Amino acid sequence: MITFENIDVVYPNGFKGLSNVNLQIDKGEFVAIVGLSGAGKSTLIRTVNGLVPFTSGTLKVGDEVVDPRSKAKLRRLRSRVGMIFQSFNLVTRVSVLNNVLVGRSAETPTWRSLLGWYRAEDKELAFKSLERVGIVDKAYMRASSLSGGQQQRVAIARVLAQDPEVILADEPVASLDPPTAHKVMRDLRRIQQELGITTIVNMHHLDLARSYADRIIGMRAGEVVFDGPVEEATDAVIEEVYQRSLTAEDIVAGDAAAESSAAGDAAARDSATEGAVTERSVPAAKAQD
């Protein structure tokens, strides 16, 4: 269970990332966070594992109170909270297996890490994680030789190797084409259901959020403006969150891979540019304040 109590995040440059966020996310829930670029989705997700330190309030993951100032505590927390990213963030020059084994870092003595001499049970866990996402055959290939969807699944395997209680996913499918996006979302959903891992996903695409999540949290300007089950997140509600009417950009093309590939490509390009815009507009938003 994750509890946010009056969480504020003020960045060093004075930009207010989150203001007075109160949330309670139960164990095993699949939560999608929606909102426009710069609404604070990434900030919210990153406060959970301390990548962005919150400046006031109380944050609890399980029974443990998150303390952004203690490095040792943060490392311990991060070993229980896995995270996947929009740009996969794999080390592309090393093998898939070594990327997954990075997930074992917190449990591995430093000297073993430095020599790359992982324990047999850690390797076994890494292989099991790769099997769970269906790419164990790529274990010894360089990560750079994999396609985007495969790389994201390696990232999921890395998170699974941590044996986490919580998975955070920051726009996990924003740089993938629609069929792959659905595939990765299905993987996440299946893992959440099989292993009972609490999963929090930032989303750009409303239809993906609706079809895979249990619960949707809407954010605007650093505040939670909607929080409810998927059924309640009607178009009208989301338009209220976005403060604009919904457009074709808010949905990803359908699941069926057989659908006209041209349309799919276009949507993929759209989502890719959209993702790029997100990345760039966040500092821009900060600068404005």
Which of these ranges, 4-12, 61-69, 100-108, 215-223, lies near another protein under the rule CB under 8 A? 100-108
Lookup: tokens for 218? 């809407």
Considering only 171, 177, 227, 250, the residue that binds another protein (CB under 8 A) is: 177
CB of 251 to another protein, least distance (A): 18
Dihedral through CA 227, CA 230, CA 232, CA 233, nearest 10? 70
What is the spatial distance between Cα 116 and Cα 285, in angstroms, rounded to a whole number?
41
Q: Indicate whether 11 belongs to the interface with another protein (CB under 8 A).
A: no
Cα 256 to the chain's mean position, in Å?
Answer: 24
Beta strands in the chain (DSSP E): 2-10, 16-25, 30-35, 56-61, 64-65, 81-84, 166-169, 198-203, 215-220, 223-229
* Minimum gap (Å) between residue 237 Cβ and another protein: 31
Which pairing describes strands 2-10 and 215-220: parallel, antiparallel, or unpaired? unpaired
211 part of the interface to another protein, by CB under 8 A: no
Residue of 155, 206, 208, 219 interacting with another protein (CB under 8 A) = 155
Using the rule CB under 8 A, give the single segment among 16-24, 87-95, 217-225, 245-253 that binds another protein. Answer: 87-95
**190 in contact with another protein (CB under 8 A):** yes
Token pair in block for residue 95: 């093998």
CA 197 to chain centroid, in Å, comes to 13
Q: Binding residues for another protein, per CB under 8 A?
A: 49, 51, 75-79, 81-85, 87-94, 98, 102-103, 105-106, 108, 110, 113-114, 116, 132, 134, 137-138, 141-142, 144-151, 155, 158-159, 162, 168, 175-177, 179-180, 183, 186-187, 190, 257-258, 268, 272
